Each structure stands twice: as C-alpha cells, then as structure tokens.
Amino acid sequence: MPAGFRLPEPSRFFIPHPEIEGSAVARQRLIVRLLAYKVSFTLLVFIALLVIFQVFTPNHTFFQRPNLFALARLAPDLGIVALGVGILMICGEFDLSIASTIPMSSFVFVKLLGTGVPLGLNLVVTLCVGVIMGLGNGLLVTRTRLPSFILTLGTMLFWKGLLYAASRMMPIGIRSWLPAGSWLENMFVGIIGGVFPIQAIWFVGFAVLLAVMLHFTKFGNWIFVTGDNETAARAMGINTNLVKIISYVGVGVLCAVVGMMQCLRIESFTANQGVGFELKAIASAVVGGTSLMGGMGSVLGIFLGTLTIQMIENGMILLGLPAFGIGAFIGAVVILFAVLNKYISRFSTR
C-alpha cells in the first residue's frame, strides 16, 4: 500500500471527553458514528429535498397523489439497475453496457412475443439475454484485467450497434401479440388496487434481497473484500474473478427485468430504452456513498441515492425549470457527493 494509506489516527475522534457523563458520551459517540456512516448524508439530502420540493412546487404538487404515483412507477426503472451497478462498484468494477442490455432484452422479448412462444418461456429466455451479456462482460474484464470502464464502453457500443442494425431503430408495439391483462403484465407493471404501482414493490423487494446478500452473507463479504483489496482476497483463497463475474451476471439479469418492465409499460420496444442509464446508475451509487475505488458502499445508500437523483429530476420539472438544464443540477450533486465521500471516509469507522 502507498504511503497515503496511513491516515491520521481516526480513533481520537471517539475518545470520550472525561468531563462528559456516561450517557452523554454514548450519545456523542452515536451521533459521530451516524455521521461517519455515509448513508446519513444521503438521507439528510433526501429529506431536505423532500421538504424543499413540497414547499416550493406550485400548489405543493410534489406530495400529491399523481406525482407520487408517477415517481413510484418510473423510478424503479433506473433504481433496480442502479442497485446492481452499485454492488458491482463495491466489487471494484463498472458496467456501462447496461444501456445496451436493457433495450437488447426488450428487443428479444418483443421478438419472442411475435413468435408466439409461451410467456413463461419468453421470460426465461429474456432473463438469459441478461445472463449472457453479463457473463460476456465479466469474462472480458477478468480475462483481460483492463479497466472495466473502457471494456464495458466497448461492449455497450458493440451491442448497441448490433441492436440498431437488427431493429433499424424502429419501435415495435406489443399489442398485436399480447392482449392487455396477461399475467406477465400484472406481475411487472400491474397497479395494485388501482392505486399502487407494482414496480415499486419489485424495487423494494430487490433492494431488500440484495441488501441481505451484500451485508449479511459470506458472498457479500467477498464482494467487499474483492473491491477493497483484491490481492488479499485472492491470497485468502477467494476466487475474485468468480465474484466479479457473478456480480456482472447479476447486473445483466436486473437489466433484463427492467428491459421487460419498460417494454410492458410503454407497450412497445424502442431502441432508445436505457439511454443515459449507464451514467445515471453510477451517479446514483455515488450519491448513495459508494466508493469509486470499490470496497465501500451500501444497498440502502444506493437505494436512497437513486431516489434522490430521480426526485431532483422530477421536482425540478414541477418547479418549472427548463427540463433540458436539469442535468446541470444533477451533475453538481454528483460532484458534491463524490467530494463529500472522499472527505467523510477520512474519519469513518464503519
């Protein structure tokens, strides 16, 4: 490790002051601990934005049902993918090719609808598209040992090129083959009781499942140590290549789910599905406290991070700001959090 590895002894932040009595010390420690935990900053910004948008949107439309409904229906698209991308970043790798995996699985899904295969089989095959594209990325990154940012930029362009050629960039509607109200549609884009979009349940479900996997299982620990110190992980007998490949496959599967979800929601395949997701997913993870160097992050953080980013978009539109300029604000937030993460990690203990 380079010399910069040795940081000033952080434990001195936690030395209790002798004059403060026990419970106050405990409280002080708890507060410092909470602040040291990166997610708390994301949470603070998240709550602050909720308040700001509620107060400043004309007629307080932010917290009204139509807007919340739209958020719950749309945010899971990027959210589900961001969960996978964030976990992959903790493992020390990037995946830009999600912007191609999403429309590719949507395309395969629609094409299979046209052939009339049973929906269940179609679902499995579409998920396999995600598995294969994830596997491709994983093998490429672990075999070549080159920066995954560049390699997956390559696979993104490669698959996108093939997809554009195959689809001629024409949208393909699903209604000629799939009547409304199929079980698959109810499962992915149904609206429970006519008020609650099921996508939100998928998003929360994936988040809980992945949080348990990442924070409580053995494999989750392998993801952290692979991103944190790959040499050490390998020396301890962890197959770090396999850990990375599985993480890439996970991202691919989540992309396939989102590809199908979007396709069912807009009742059509379009070639520009997922455009821009590749960087927004990384931005979500960064806002959620994920380290760009790997080894640090949390599912709760990524979850809040992606909601924050999407809420900014939504809230600023409601505020009547020019829609095309919103990127500037999101960019500023990402930079703020990247800087903040670096600063916080100097005295974080967990």
Partner 1 sequence: MADVRSVSTGKPDDGYLVRMVGIDKYFGRVCALKGVDFRVKFNEIVSLVGDNGAGKSTLIKILSGFYTADRGEIYFEGKKAHIGTPRDAKALGIETVYQEQALAPHVSIPRNVFMGREITKVLGIMDGRRMHAESMRTIERLGLQIKDTGAVVEALSGGQRQGVAIARVLYFKAKLVILDEPTIALSVKESQQVMAFMKQLRSEGISVVFITHNLFHAFQIAERFVVLARGELLADVDRKDSSVEHLSQLVISGHHEEK
Which parts of this chain interact with partner 1 (CB under 8 A)?
A: 1, 5-7, 9-11, 14, 212, 216-219, 221-222, 224-225, 228-229, 231-238, 291, 295-296, 345, 348-350
**Shorter beta-carbon distance to partner 1: residue 224 or 269:** 224
**Shorter beta-carbon distance to partner 1: residue 9 or 324:** 9
Strand-pairing partners, residue 268, are: 173
Strand-pairing partners, residue 196, are: 192
Q: Is 81 exposed, middle or buried (0-12, 13-18, 19+ CB in 10 A)?
A: buried
**Shorter beta-carbon distance to partner 1: residue 156 or 225:** 225
Shortest distance, CB of residue 10 to partner 1, whole angstroms?
A: 5
Q: Smallest Cα–Cα separation from 246: which of 274, 218, 273?
A: 218
**Shorter beta-carbon distance to partner 1: residue 165 or 235:** 235
Q: Which two tokens stand for residue 86?
A: 């964030």
Shortest distance, CB of residue 327 to partner 1, whole angstroms?
A: 31
Shortest distance, CB of residue 290 to partner 1, whole angstroms?
A: 12
CA dihedral 333, 336, 337, 341 (to 10 degrees): 180
Shortest distance, CB of residue 59 to partner 1, whole angstroms?
A: 46
Shortest distance, CB of residue 29 to partner 1, whole angstroms?
A: 10
Strand-pairing partners, residue 173, are: 268
Shortest distance, CB of residue 161 to partner 1, whole angstroms?
A: 38
**Shorter beta-carbon distance to partner 1: residue 236 or 332:** 236
**Shorter beta-carbon distance to partner 1: residue 122 or 247:** 247
Place of tokens 């199929």: 182
329-339 burial, b at 16+ Cβ within 10 Å, e below that, comes to ebeebbeebee
Ordered DSSP codes for 97-158:
THHHHHHHHHHHHHHHHHHT--HHHHHHHHHHHHHHHHHHHHHHHHHH---HHHHHHHHHHH
**Shorter beta-carbon distance to partner 1: residue 279 or 340:** 340
CA 88 vs. chain centroid, Å, equals: 9
Report the C-alpha gap between 306 and 93 in whole angstroms.
Answer: 18
Shortest distance, CB of residue 322 to partner 1, whole angstroms?
A: 40
